Structure 1
Amino acid sequence: MPLNGTRKTFGTIEVINRKNLETGCPDSKLMFTESDLCWLTIVGAHVSAAISRLRKIDEDKIFAAISRELADPENEGHRVRSVYQTIADKLVAPLMPYKVCIVRLAFDEQSLMVTDKSHAEGERGWGGRQDELRRKGEGIVGKVFETGKYITVEDIDSVVEKFNNDKWIEEQGLKSFICFPLVILGEVIGTLSLFTGYKHKFSKTDITFLKNVSFLLAAFKIRSEKIKNFELKTTTLEVVEPSFREAKHSFLENRLDLGERKTQSVDVLVLASFESSTEQYQVCLETGNYLRAYQIAEFAYDMCENIKKNINSVEDQGLYRRLVAMSSYWKLNLDLCGARKGYDRSL
């Protein structure tokens, strides 16, 4: 009996040999009755519903973990590639349907290079594969880079010759493929490629999930570049920058209340506790309450921006840089929730 979910078939229930009620032993000569089939259909429906719910919960957990990794200000000093490797590993984790994940970033305007990759079977899965530069318009990945539109291949066997590493694909038993562009502000800055080890029909849920992940990957790279450029412009002396965690606690301990400090030369708005807001935001993500998560991110981002406007970036350079990092953190979370729920926010 098929395990049919709302949008996909998860598998089958196979029953071999009906039991003889008199002897209590399986008997290959006995036939299944309509009542048996009806009962198995009901069982299958309940099992499918349970699997569907569990997969949705697992996907939300993975999505929340990815958003934390990409949006965490403590990763500001980390290389983009090291963060992307963590995300690639999560996408081929046991909870996910993917066996291989490959991230490519633009080497120049005409080519892509593999920067991070992860295989469910570890390093041994990469034997025989060549990670050469991929030119714009070359093969499936090149077309995604050129057009900025995702491509799915649900049956690799029928078009395996279109893949550059066709022998490796056959050896690894890869059956389905999807490639998403990493697009930000209309520019394709890379691609996200995923393979499955079985024939997989990519549902609307799959597409939405990967579209949001791709958006986050692209946004993280742009955000990291902006932070780096800001640091280069503002660093005129050799300064030892404390960790973000220390800076965050220092800022929260010294936050000012506008109601009590209206007469001061610099107006500083009240900022809700960063730790408390972050915890509430993550709880909302994990429970699927994206509207509330959006509201938290919107409030925190607006507060950071208002405070930043009232800070002298030269005299209060340390505070200003921390505010830039915090503002970037909440802006990315805000965009994430907007993409997830279909909001449109003009800033």
Structure 2
Amino acid sequence: MIVTYEIVPDAIQKAGNSIIGFKTEEEKKQAKEIDAFLQAGNSIIGFKTEEEKKQAKLEEEKKQAKLSFRTEVSLIKKSKNEIVKNALKIVREKLKSQMAAIFLFSKDGLLERIGIEGIDKDGNFVENDWYKEESYQVGESFTGKAAQIKEGSNYGETQYIRNLDETDLKEESRRKYEEKFGSIKCAIAIPLNGRNKTYGVIQVVNKIDSTKNIPFSEALFSEDDVRWLYFLAAYIANALSNFRRDVQSGILKYLSHLLIRSNYNSHGRDRNALDEVCQQTVDLLVKNPETAFKAGILRIKNDNSHLLEVTATSISNGVTENRDNKPIKIGDGLAGRVAESGKPLILQGIRNEPQINSFTNRSWINENRFESFGCFPLLAKEDVLGTLSLYTGYNYDFYPDSIEFVQSVADLLASFVYRLKLEKIESEVKLVAAGLGAKPQYLEQTRSHFDEIELLATLENQPLNIKTLASILNKLEGHVRNLIQPLFEEGYIDAVGNCILHYIFPSLGKNRRVKTEISDSETYFLITSKGHYRLHPFISFK
């Protein structure tokens, strides 16, 4: 007897799946172990220690700071170009001139044209790239004479010519101008005189018939035209001077951020951190088109040999590198004398006698036609840690504002070098102290001092509370709170909402005895002018 069963297709499918997916208890255990192993592998691949996470965070912050600085410089450059463009349009409209142009000093001391507005002899608009290489030495041609410093002054002098055809012009410029604009009837060139010096020249050529866009045959610029252009030139010079100070402020801000975030520790990477910071510092001063410096040499004192060693060099385009960078003794040469005295040294006309004889790299100076030199000490406490030397391509005056700026850069760098030095000492002393079972008290005091400097530098950008400060500085909130209290009581910082007189007149903070209720999250602190001077002393940390 044959028995038949009617099997439902779904049941067959389920049975098949059950057989295919069947695993013994041993197989399930092995599969679980393999899965756990794979997950561990993925975890290992992406694993980072706390130190690595901290360094990654610092690198990202440094990257963002550099991006922010570049953006700021780019915006300044854009604003500068807009001022030039708008000024030239206003000049042409007001004076009815055929052409208006602005020239600014380059790193080589040449007056280079950075903007032009006008129409050619046929009434067509002149493009900005026409004769884009147009430039003049001081005193050369009609334009250069306006920038030539008159006797007893730091500024150039207005030039007004009623017949430019009879004036001594640079031959190439005369030919180019006659081809483009036709006969040159009259012109004005006025120096852009800033607070300390002449930044450039603004120039206009030919009166035109605005209805026909062609030059008048006889019309001349009036004395009122000259006077009006003189006052506009003063405004343009002031605006350009402000842009330059904005760039200097941006450099100091970025450098402060870089020094705080740089990777310094006692595990052998301090030298890499020092080299990186030194190179970026001189590049900030030399590679930036808004500064006058064509070359920078940074020397750091070797603690073992006590020699000044070149740690970083930076040169602008066209400057040769064939110089002797051997270490020098304290007291030898110009940089050695600055390290010995702890005071800045400024020289002009350095290719002339007797100044040139003071330099080791005389051939390099003559080859690159440097004219001025400034050397600034890296001072921390009363210790000179190195020197910063800068060279310019023209007879540059290091005015008080310029000296203060460069010395501030040197002081910031000195604080970083000093901190690396103390990190190294701390590491060595810890090893000795561990063996002796003790730790020197002064080490804690030194650490506290630099924690305070780091906190002040962080507050320089914006008001912050204790919680945020602890996160940025990677320190415990209790430690930050202990740093805040004495700084607040001594007037180096103030709490937002306190009497504004405390940070307008920081000396008021010296006798402050009022106990303020401080909240870790609700009280915001900002740096006072007294704190700023502690962070950026004019000459040294003395």
- Counterpart of 2:366? 170
Query: Cα distance 1:87–1:42, how it changes in 2: closer, same or farther (>3 A)?
Result: same
- Counterpart of 1:281? 460
TM-score under structure 1 normalisation?
0.66
The reply on whether 1:130 has 2:324 as its aligned counterpart is yes
Matched residue type, 1:116: A
Match among 279, 284, 295 for residue 100 of structure 1: 295
Distance apart, 1:7 and its partner CA: 2.1
Where do residues 123-162 of structure 1 align in structure 2 (5 Å cutoff)?
125-158=319-352, 159-162=355-358
Structure 1 unmatched runs, 5+: 237-275, 285-296, 308-330
The reply on whether 1:306 has 2:482 as its aligned counterpart is yes
Matched residue type, 1:183: L
- Counterpart of 1:184? 380
Query: Cα distance 1:5–1:30, how it changes in 2: closer, same or farther (>3 A)?
Result: same
Which segment is superposed worse, 185-194 or 165-174? 165-174
- Counterpart of 2:8? none
Say whether the 8 Å CA contact 1:20–1:26 is kept in structure 2. yes
Say whether the 8 Å CA contact 1:181–1:191 is kept in structure 2. yes
Distance apart, 1:42 and its partner CA: 1.5
Match among 311, 315, 324 for residue 119 of structure 1: 315
Deviations 1:123-158 (A, max 9, x none): x73432111222333332222122111111132233
- Counterpart of 2:70? none
CA distance in 2, matches of 1:116, 1:164: 18
The higher relative CO (CA closer than 8 Å, separation ≥ 6) is in 1
Higher gyration radius (CA): 2
- Counterpart of 1:5? 194
Distance apart, 1:69 and its partner CA: 1.2
Match among 395, 398, 405 for residue 199 of structure 1: 395
Deviations 1:310-338 (A, max 9, x none): xxxxxxxxxxxxxxxxxxxxx9xx97642
Deviations 1:195-215 (A, max 9, x none): 122221111111111111111
Distance apart, 1:35 and its partner CA: 1.3
Across the aligned residues of Structure 1 and Structure 2, the Cα RMSD in angstroms comes to 3.7
Distance apart, 1:83 and its partner CA: 1.4
Distance apart, 1:18 and its partner CA: 2.0
CA distance in 2, matches of 1:205, 1:301: 39
- Counterpart of 1:63? 252
Say whether the 8 Å CA contact 1:8–1:203 is kept in structure 2. no
Say how many residue pairs are matched.
Answer: 266
Matched residue type, 2:300: L
Deviations 1:59-107 (A, max 9, x none): 1111101111122254445421221111111111223221111101123
Query: Between the two proteins, what is the percent identity of the paired residues?
Result: 30
Instruction: Name the SS of the counterpart of 2:396 in structure 1.
Output: coil
Say whether the 8 Å CA contact 1:70–1:83 is kept in structure 2. yes
Query: Cα distance 1:152–1:304, how it changes in 2: closer, same or farther (>3 A)?
Result: same
- Counterpart of 2:12? none
Which segment is superposed worse, 204-213 or 161-170? 161-170
Instruction: Name the SS of the counterpart of 2:291 in structure 1.
Output: coil
Query: Cα distance 1:277–1:155, how it changes in 2: closer, same or farther (>3 A)?
Result: closer
CA distance in 2, matches of 1:135, 1:341: 27
CA distance in 2, matches of 1:54, 1:277: 26
Where do residues 35-46 of structure 1 align in structure 2 (5 Å cutoff)?
35-46=224-235
Instruction: Name the SS of the counterpart of 1:156 in structure 2.
Output: coil
Structure 2 unmatched runs, 5+: 1-189, 433-454, 464-472, 484-526
Query: Cα distance 1:36–1:161, how it changes in 2: closer, same or farther (>3 A)?
Result: farther
- Counterpart of 1:19? 207
Matched residue type, 1:164: T
Query: Cα distance 1:224–1:192, how it changes in 2: closer, same or farther (>3 A)?
Result: same
Matched residue type, 2:347: V
CA distance in 1, matches of 2:216, 2:427: 76
Say whether the 8 Å CA contact 1:212–1:336 is kept in structure 2. no
CA distance in 2, matches of 1:51, 1:83: 29
Query: Cα distance 1:341–1:88, how it changes in 2: closer, same or farther (>3 A)?
Result: closer
Matched residue type, 1:281: E
CA distance in 2, matches of 1:13, 1:302: 59
Say whether the 8 Å CA contact 2:351–2:369 is kept in structure 1. no
Instruction: Name the SS of the counterpart of 2:311 in structure 1.
Output: strand
- Counterpart of 1:89? 283
Deviations 1:247-304 (A, max 9, x none): xxxxxxxxxxxxxxxxxxxxxxxxxxxxx998763247xxxxxxxxxxxx9xx99953
Deviations 1:147-199 (A, max 9, x none): 11111113223333322112211222322110001122212221000112222
Deviations 1:5-47 (A, max 9, x none): 12222112233x3224376445797643211211210221111
